[in-house]
Amino acid sequence: MSEFTRSFLVHWNDCDPARIVFHANFIRWMDEGFTDMSRARGVDFAAMAEADPHFRGSPLVDLRCAFRAPARFADMLEHRIAPPAFTGGRAFRLAHRFLLADGTLVAEGEQTRIWGRDEGEGLRAVQMPEEIRAKLQG
């Protein structure tokens, strides 16, 4: 199991009037990071949804984010995502950390997601296929 890392530049439109990253962007970046990690590990949600009309992806069911230090316009952020933690049920957790170039922890959070299907009775959490689970764990 390996951590997934990506880096990106903080843009002007990511910041609020106080000239620091607006808090909601970390939530967006966690979601984008999960998508980037999944694709990098061979899990293409768009292709899976096209192949299976009942597949609903991996919806977010719980979220937390704690802010530790400010990030500002033009900072480079490193986003680290720990391998998914499976608890034996239908949900899994992803731990996220955002760091400045000097290693300062800016924010850390956790997402809880499910593997979703809708076969006419509404969205349901189901067991993730074992091959997908293995890919996501890297």
**The pLDDT of residue 111:** 98
Give the mean pLDDT of 45-50: 95
Assign 89 a pLDDT band (cuts: 50, 70, 90). confident
pLDDT, one tens digit per residue, over 60-73 is: 999 999 999 999 99
What is the 3-state composition of the chain as percent helix, strand, coil, each rounded to the nearest 5? Answer: 25, 40, 35
Lookup: tokens for 46: 């768009």
Say whether pLDDT at 24 is over 90.
yes
* 3-state per-residue secondary structure call for 36-83: HHHHHCCCCHHHHHHHCCCECCCCEEEEEEEECCCCECCCEEEEEECC
**The pLDDT of residue 88:** 78
Lookup: tokens for 54: 């009942």
Q: How many percent of the chain have pLDDT more than 90?
A: 94
pLDDT, one tens digit per residue, over 97-117 is: 999 999 999 999 999 999 999
Say whether pLDDT at 1 is over 90.
no
Radius of gyration of the chain (CA): 16
Give the mean pLDDT of 85-96: 92
* Distance separating alpha carbons of residues 26 and 52, to the nearest angstrom: 31
For 62, phi then psi, to 5°, come to -160, 155
* Distance separating alpha carbons of residues 33 and 79, to the nearest angstrom: 8
